[in-house]
C-alpha cells in the first residue's frame, strides 16, 4: 500500500502532520524512514544535507530516487560527491520557487506549488528515468518544471532571493541596534513592513543558505555595497538628483514589468 512517511526531530510537529493527513506515519531516524521508499524528498537545512545523505545512502531501495528542496544546488552536489565519492545516478537536486516565511506543517497548504516554478539541476551522472519521475511528481502538484545547471541556478537565486534576504536581515538588525530603535520601529509604515517581511524567515536555515552560496553572495554583496557608496555620492551632485531619478525610473519600469509578468501567469 502506498504511504507517506515523515521524518523529523520535533514529535509535536510530526504528530500534527499525521492528524492533518499530510503523512501516514513517521520516524525520527532517517535511515528507518526511507527504508523501502521509491521517492525520497529531503527538506532539511543545507548544513544537515551531508549527514542525512550519509545516513540514508546505505539503506536506499534499488529503485529509490532522492530529490531535495534546498535553496543552493552546488552545495548539495558537493555534499553528495563527498559522501559517496562520486555523484549517484539516483540523485536529482531540485528547488521549488515557492514558500513563505513560516515553517512547520501548520504552514503548509495544498496549493503551495500550484503555478509555481521548480528548478531541477541534474548532474551528468543523473539517471534520466529518475529525473523524469521527479519532474512528474512536481507537475502533479501544478508546478512548471525547468532544468538548469547547479552553477547557473546558484547565480540566479543569489540575485533574487539570497541577496535580498541578507539585505533585509542586516537592515533590520542595523536599525534595531540604533539608539532610538523603539521610536524608529514605531514610525515605520507599510512599506517597511513589506520590505522587511523576509527578515522574519528562519535564521538558521538562512545562515546555511548564505554559507552554502557564499561564493556568489560575496561578490554580489561587495558590488552592491559599492553601488550604495555611488548612490550616497549622487545625493550631493549639483544636478538636482538627475542620476538618482534615472536609477529610480529604471527600477520602477523593471519592477512594474516583472509584476505584470507575474500577474499574467497567475
Cell 512536481 locates to 138
At its nearest, how many Å lie between a second copy and the CB of residue 18? 29
Figure out which of the listed residues 2, 124, 194, 264 binds a second copy, where binding follows CB under 8 A: 194
Figure out which of the listed residues 32, 33, 200, 264 binds a second copy, where binding follows CB under 8 A: 200
Can residue 204 be called a binding residue for a second copy (CB under 8 A)? Answer: yes
Cross-strand pairs, 39: 65
Can residue 264 be called a binding residue for a second copy (CB under 8 A)? Answer: no
Is 207 exposed, middle or buried (CB count within 10 Å of its CB: 0-12, 13-18, 19+)? Answer: middle
- The site string for a second copy over 217-246 (x = CB under 8 A, - otherwise) reads xx--xxxxxxxxx-xx--xx---xx--xx-
Cβ closer to a second copy: 26 or 68?
A: 68
Cβ closer to a second copy: 65 or 168?
A: 168
Q: Which three cell numbers stand for residue 48?
A: 544537515
Q: Report the distance separating Cα 215 and Cα 223, nearest Å.
A: 13
Is 206 exposed, middle or buried (CB count within 10 Å of its CB: 0-12, 13-18, 19+)? Answer: buried
Handedness of CA 199, 204, 205, 207 (dihedral sign): positive
Q: Report the distance separating Cα 94 and Cα 130, nearest Å.
A: 12
Strands annotated E in 8-115? 25-27, 39-42, 65-68, 91-92, 94-97
Residues 13-72 touching a second copy, rule: CB under 8 A, are: 47
Residues 150-189 touching a second copy, rule: CB under 8 A, are: 155-157, 159-161, 163-178, 180-181, 183-189
Can residue 250 be called a binding residue for a second copy (CB under 8 A)? Answer: yes
Number of residues in contact with a second copy, rule: CB under 8 A? 95
3-state secondary structure of 6: strand
Residues 79-118 touching a second copy, rule: CB under 8 A, are: 97-101, 116-117
At its nearest, how many Å lie between a second copy and the CB of residue 220? 9
Cell 496549493 locates to 111
At its nearest, how many Å lie between a second copy and the CB of residue 115? 12
Query: Are the beta carbons of 98 and 112 closer than 8 angstroms?
Result: yes
At its nearest, how many Å lie between a second copy and the CB of residue 52? 17
Cβ closer to a second copy: 12 or 232?
A: 232
Amino acid at each position: 500500500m502506498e504511504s507517506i512517511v515523515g521524518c523529523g526531530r520535533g514529535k509535536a510537529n510530526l504528530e500534527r502532520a499525521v492528524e492533518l493527513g499530510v503523512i501516514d506515519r513517521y520516524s525520527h531516524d532517517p535511515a528507518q524512514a526511507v527504508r523501502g521508499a521509491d521517492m525520497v524528498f529531503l527538506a532539511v537545512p543545507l548544513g544537515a544535507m551531508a549527514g542525512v545523505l550519509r545516513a540514508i545512502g546505505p539503506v536506499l531501495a534499488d529503485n529509490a530516487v532522492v530529490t531535495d528542496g534546498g535553496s543552493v544546488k552546488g552545495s548539495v552536489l558537493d555534499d553528495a560527491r563527498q559522501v559517496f565519492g562520486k555523484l549517484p545516478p539516483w540523485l536529482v537536486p531540485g528547488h521549488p520557487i515557492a514558500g513563505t516565511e513560516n515553517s512547520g506543517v501548520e504552514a503548509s497548504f495544498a496549493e503551495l506549488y500550484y503555478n509555481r516554478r521548480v528548478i531541477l539541476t541534474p548532474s551528468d551522472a543523473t539517471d534520466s528515468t529518475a529525473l523524469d519521475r521527479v519532474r512528474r511528481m512536481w507537475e502533479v502538484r501544478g508546478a512548471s518544471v525547468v532544468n538548469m545547471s547547479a552553477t547557473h541556478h546558484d547565480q540566479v537565486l543569489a540575485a533574487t532571493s539570497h541577496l535580498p534576504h541578507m539585505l533585509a536581515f542586516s537592515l533590520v538588525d542595523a536599525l534595531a541596534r540604533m539608539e532610538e530603535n523603539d521610536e524608529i520601529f514605531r514610525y515605520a509604515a507599510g512599506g517597511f513592513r513589506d520590505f522587511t517581511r523576509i527578515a522574519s524567515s528562519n535564521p538558521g536555515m538562512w545562515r546555511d543558505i548564505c554559507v552554502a552560496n557564499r561564493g556568489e553572495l560575496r561578490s554580489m554583496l561587495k558590488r552592491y555595497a559599492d553601488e550604495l557608496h555611488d548612490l550616497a555620492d549622487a545625493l550631493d551632485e549639483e544636478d538636482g538628483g538627475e542620476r538618482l531619478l534615472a536609477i529610480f525610473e529604471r527600477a520602477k519600469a523593471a519592477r512594474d514589468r516583472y509584476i505584470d509578468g507575474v500577474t499574467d501567469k497567475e
